[in-house]
Amino acid sequence: MRLYGTELSSRLMLGTAQYPSPAILAEAFRRSGAGIATVSLRREAAGGDGGAFWDLVRDLGVRILPNTAGCHSAREAVTTARMAREMFGTPWIKLEVIGHADTLQPDPWGLVEAARELCADGFEVFPYTTEDLVLAERLLDAGCGVLMPWGAPIGTGLGLSNRHGLRSLRAQFPEVPMVVDAGLGLPSQAAEAMEMGFDAVLLNTAVARAGDPAAMAEGFAKAVEAGRLGYEADPMEPRDMAAPSTPLIGRAVLA
């Protein structure tokens, strides 16, 4: 998988929030083999021990994807992104502009506005968006080279709430790298997203809040791999009627 010219060996991305301890976070990343870690600048700044956290993330040996989590306007997101670039030394940014407090649904107007400004400023933007086709077109026109549609609202674990919409989005832009981001709760849901042809999945809560985060992280890693293999194998089309796998010729004849 290549994102903005960077080759990655894993199609699983993990967040770094809500883990019971730093040691469990590190073990989850080790067992998952995830190649990207998302980091919230606002959360780590508020924690008061950003240096220790940065040392931990750096020791994971993965690519860092800072995000603008908690931003509710384009201006706030752009400012946070620029601070993140300075702190983490990367042009990558996961762009979140939240428009609805309860569902954490993206604000489409603010998202496009911020994406356009950040792309013009040299950022490589990963926009957290919905499965809306028009919004996807606007984000690509703004300069985004990756789309990150949600599976379901952040932290809900509902899985793929709008399968038809996600399939339509994937079919409409077949050459654009897409990552299903947020709402996944089970490895089977990640496998389903990969079977649809999505390039990767990003999750946090399903792993961090599991009884055994490291085991769940490994489960998601295997599901992502299985789903991708299934997609690449060109699976059979569903049928309305049964189709016998044993031929009728040679069947025993009873007198």
Which residues line the annotated binding site for 1-deoxy-D-xylulose 5-phosphate?
A: 155, 182-183, 204-205
Q: Is 253 exposed, middle or buried (0-12, 13-18, 19+ CB in 10 A)?
A: exposed
Rg of the chain, C-alpha, whole Å: 20
Asked if 222 is an active-site residue, the reply is no
Q: Which two tokens stand for residue 5?
A: 């010219």
Give the residue ranges of the annotated binding site: 155, 182-183, 204-205
Q: Measure the CA–CA gap between 151 and 154, rounded to whole angstroms.
A: 9
Active-site residue, from 94, 116, 138, 228 = 94
Q: Which two tokens stand for residue 65?
A: 């994807």
β-pair partners for 129:
149
β-pair partners for 90:
none
The three-state secondary structure class of 173 is coil
Catalytic annotation, residues: 94
